[in-house]
Amino acid sequence: MIGTVPFDVVAPRVLKLPFDFCLHVVVGYTAARLLFGRWGWVGAIGGTVPNLDWFIAQWTALPIAHRGLFHTPFFLVAVVAGGRLLRIDAPILAGFAVGYLLELATDTFEGYRGIMWLYPLSPARLLVAIHVPELYWGTAVFLACGTLLVWERQRRPLQ
């Protein structure tokens, strides 16, 4: 039965982290590229920044938990506000924000803790269970992004 098979039953656990990383990069890049043209790379960066908390939690003694503060819209607002104070161009910040928000959206559908969408107003987490393994829906998302990028490339050449 496909509906309840976890990722590590279908593929080795060691592949999950690179798969997730690539998924967030590709989704962020694709959305920012389609919306803002040449700023696709900024969406790729935005799609990975929330997961810096995982690396910080793994390799430092700082009290930071994965899918904590970094995985909230509140943190995104703080980063964008800081970017505005540093006079970073609006299209760059918008591309970053799109990648970041899509990372949060995909993590809302992964079966691990959910996302605190209303933090700091509420610590409640939203986790939407989809009974399809991440390997399958993630692969479908990769294919959709690739299709959109080919379409976009035919519509307008790289800038």
Task: Tell me if 64 is assigned to some domain.
Answer: yes
> The whole model's pTM is what?
0.83
**Is 8 domain-assigned?**
no
40-69 per-position pLDDT tens digit:
999 999 999 999 998 898 888 888 888 889
pLDDT at site 6: 54
Query: How many domains would you assign to the chain?
Result: 1
Residue 116 lies in a domain: yes
Q: Is residue 157 part of a domain?
A: no
Residue 14 lies in a domain: no
Residue 146 maps to a domain: yes
pLDDT of 64? 85
Tell me, yes or no, whether 5 lies in a domain. no
**62-71 contacts at long range (C-beta below 8 A, 24 or more positions apart):** 66/113, 67/107, 67/112, 67/113, 67/114, 67/115, 67/116, 67/125, 68/116, 69/119, 71/104, 71/107, 71/115, 71/116
Residue 9 covered by a domain: no
Domain containing residue 131: 20-151
Flag residues of the chain having pLDDT under 70: 1-14, 111, 157-159
